[in-house]
Amino acid sequence: MAKSLLQTENEKQKIKEQLEELLQNCTNCSEESKLKIRKAFDFANHAHMGVRRKSGEPYILHPLSVAMIVASDIGLGEDSICAALLHDVVEDTEFTTEDIEFSFGIQVAKLVEGLTKIEEVFDKTQSKQAENFKKILMTLGAGVNTILIKLADRLHNMRTLDSMPAKKQFQIASETFYLFAPLAERLGFYEIKIELENLSLKYYEPEAYKSIKEKIDKKELESKSFISGFEEPIIKKLHEADIEFVISSRFKSVYSIWHKMQKKNIPFDEVFDLFAIRIVFKPTAGLPERTQCWAIYSLITEIYRSKLERLRDWVGTPKTNGYEALHCTLMGQGGVWVEVQIKTERMDEIAEKGIAAHWKYKEAEYSTKELDNWLQQVRESIINSEDNAEVFVDTFKTNLLAPEIYVFTPKGEQKLLPKGATALDFAYEIHTEVGNHAVAAKINYKLLPLNHVLESADQVEIITTRTQKPKKEWLDFVATSKSKNLIKTALKSDVKEHSKKGKKIIDEKLSELGIQPSARTYRKLVDAYKQINKYELFSNVGAGLLSLDNFNKVLRENTPQKWVQYWSMQLGLSGRNKIKDLRKKVEEKQQNVEKHDKIDPKRTYMIKEDNTLDYTIAECCKPIPGDEIIGFANETLTTVTVHKKKCDVASREAAKHANKIVNIQWNVHKILSFLAILEMRGIDRIGILKDLTDIVANQLNVNIRKLNIESHDGIFEGFIELYVHDLEDLNTLIKKVQSVKGMDSVKRVEHSIK
């Protein structure tokens, strides 16, 4: 943002038109509510007067656009619309939360406060981004509206990201990938989720985005007649059954296609379900909607064959965010698979409007139990978490935003857990005491340990014993924040009891010797028994982990004075001064090094063969010259870790540590070599290994580090690890290897199978 000229007449007209459009979209607002919204606009317009965005447009257009998304796309009421208009006022102007409360009431003020970024980092060693996100999540205690407005804010920022520097674009796109798109999906806003993903990819992988977008546009033109031909017999069949419906088609999003290509390591042409057909029907009153969805499925599978392993019944078991639909994949003309989604008008509105539509349908007794349970889990994880903000955000991402599985109790009661949850997580989901006393589990009637990872539809019975207590190692394999917090609470309770018991044992022993307990005495014992502090001493004694052998002798021999005498003899009288001088010299040298060698995140660095930049190649993605890369400085700003831009680890780092991002570029490398790994698959034959090594080692003169090939049933699979100068060399090598007789596919991968 920057101060600039006042609004031009054209800009004033544009602002006025957007305000009127906003008010027209407030369909559920009374005239009194609309007056309050106008007042909020006037307040924000005055506060931001003369301020412009990086794009050059008046700043007020941003909160107006956010308010429009809140009103039309999300469907929130007057207080949320007012908060959207005012969301940057407290952060960017001289007005305070108290001013907002005075003019618009406490509810609007609370929403604005939740949306206002923290002014300083609570813990200077931690991520400010994580602190901000945790602060926003904490407002869930008062309601979910703050998060929804924040999603609208992020969506508009992503729509206008063109004007930002490339480094900022990458950071914001990574943050959106990592947290905001999954959050939109969890809350049921699929359209917002899809747009956030696509916009993120546009800045995260611009070349891939452009390429896939062009291919989709071309395919759409080519597929019009195919889609029309596919839909025609379905339309006829549904009309014959007197079903009132709307049928439509849409291509999968750029991001979803890119994600599938990355996950399966396949080119665009091998993504078989590029588009989906959607059937949205008006249900017949008095008949269960699920039954009617299956009836339509039955009708259309009389025409087309269904791929059963791709059948998804989300009408019988809705997603946690409330999404309901029946998805099937059908074989169309010419051997093309087509996804078909079957849903009622209500289901479709929930998919479009997310949690806001749930509130509308609560009166119709459509359950929002799972979504309400999830929100309660978020609140509990915030209240109970003692982790710093960065750890909390990671836990939130991997636990509360993770894909889910459904498992069952012995009596058939359904429980929802994140993917990766273990039998012990299930135990704690049943009850705290069941978890605390769990010793094993029967999963589908088979006895298995507590760390066994569950799968959807597992039936689980927990075996307990009264003598069992939570163990520290349990923290290493539980997946849910609820389990971790309950285990930590139990361990702390045990430590407290052990500590109390241990102190009593030590004090009684001291009393027998006629010694008064004191901090000085406890320190002697801590040193003698090699404990960290007196609390560890008490706890270990109380737990029976530490025996007080030679108690009398320890008290007599271990005195602070003896240690002072020892160091005095070793160093002499001037020893202390010598240590001070040495420490001073080390500190001066360190400061001198930092002054000259510290990395400046604002600069762009070239990675040359004679480079003085201290860098390491990230093991997670193994970039080589020619790959698009991004760097992350360490805490002391002395070294840089180099990642591929599309690396998941890089995305997570950028989402949490924008201040550590370093712009780096490759220079030409003709001496240094970098490790690359190829995955190969083909038809086995005699001599294929010799041909392969001849091309790589002899013809191309490439150094092989490891070669591993396995053959089974006439098919060979393997990996080759080798050193290349750059991406051009690697692509040349791939083409050569691909030409080996019998070779079916050669792909670059990041890890070989150990």
Locate 55 and state its tokens. Answer: 């794009």
C-alpha–C-alpha distance, residues 192 and 503, integer Å: 58
Local structure of 702: helix, strand or coil: coil
Q: By the 8 A CB rule, do 463 and 438 touch?
A: yes
Beta strands in 513-660 (DSSP E): 604-607, 615-617, 629-633, 640-644
- The SS3 call for residue 88 is coil
Beta carbons of 115 and 87 less than 8 angstroms apart: yes
Residues 6+ apart with CB under 8 A from 593: none
Of 675, 670, 674, 681, nearest to 719 by C-alpha is 681
Q: How far is CA 540 from the centre of its chain?
A: 39
Q: Please, what sign has the CA dihedral across residues 270, 275, 276, 277?
A: negative
CA–CA distances in Å: residue 335 to residues 1, 303, 327, 330: 54, 14, 19, 10
Closest CA to 523 of 566, 496, 568, 559: 559
> Two tokens at 79?
């207080």
How far is residue 589's CA from residue 59's CA, in Å, rounded to a whole number? Answer: 48
Helices (H) and strands (E) in the chain, counts: 30, 21
Active site residue 92: yes
How many residues can be counted in the chain?
A: 754
Write phi, then psi, for 544 (nearest 5 degrees): 80, 15
> What is the CA angle 94-96-101, rounded to 5?
145
Report the distance separating Cα 422 and Cα 452, nearest Å.
5
Which of 92, 220, 527, 628 is catalytic? The answer is 92
* Residue found by looking up tokens 């800045």 in the block: 203
- Residues with Cβ within 8 Å of 289's Cβ and at least 6 positions away in sequence, in order, are 283, 315, 324, 344, 346, 347
- Is 507 annotated in the active site? no
Q: What are the respective helix, strand and coil percentages of the chain, to the nearest 5?
A: 55, 15, 30
Beta-carbon-side half-sphere exposure of residue 16 (alpha carbons within 13 Å):
7
Residue 570, token pair as written in the block: 């070793």
The answer for residues whose C-beta is within 8 angstroms of residue 432's C-beta and 6 or more apart is: 486
Q: What tokens were used for 347?
A: 């289901």
Q: Cα–Cα distance between 749 and 746 in angstroms, integer?
A: 10
Burial 607-627 (b: 16+ CB within 10 A, else e): beeeeebebebbeebbbbbbb
Residue tagged active-site, from 20, 91, 372, 600: 91
Residue 488: phi, psi to the nearest 5?
A: -60, -40
Residue 712 φ then ψ, to 5°: -155, 130
CA triple 732-737-743, angle to 5 deg:
145
For residues 193 and 181, what is the distance between their CA atoms, to the nearest angstrom? 5
Both ends of the chain: CA-CA distance in Å?
Answer: 51
Under a CB-based contact definition with an 8 Å cutoff, are residues 330 and 301 in contact? yes
Please answer whether residues 585 and 643 qualify as being in contact, where contact means their C-beta atoms are separated by less than 8 angstroms: no
The residues annotated with a catalytic role in the active site are 91-92
